[in-house]
Structure 1
Amino acid sequence: MPAPHEIKPVQHHSPIKELKKKLRLEALGRRDALTTEFRIEASMRIADFGLAALAVETGAVVSGFWPIRSEVDLRPLLFGLHERGARLCLPVIMDKQTILFRELVPGAPMIDTGFGTAGPPEDAAVLDPSLMLVPLAAFDVRGHRIGYGAGYYDRAIAHLQVKGLNPNLIGLAFDCQQVETVPDEPHDVPLEAILTESGLRRFG
Structure 2
Amino acid sequence: MDTRERLVESTRELLWERGYVGTSPAAILERAQVGQGSMYHFFRGKSDLAQAAMERTAEVMKQQIAADLLGPGSAYERISGYLRRDRDVLKGCPVGRMTLDPEIFASEPASEPLEEMFSWLASAMRDVLEEGRRAGEFSPELPAQQVATALVAVVQGGYVLARAAHEPARFDEAVDGALALLAAYRRPQR
TM, length-normalised to structure 2: 0.30
Higher RCO (CA < 8 A, seq sep 6+):
1
Larger Rg: 2
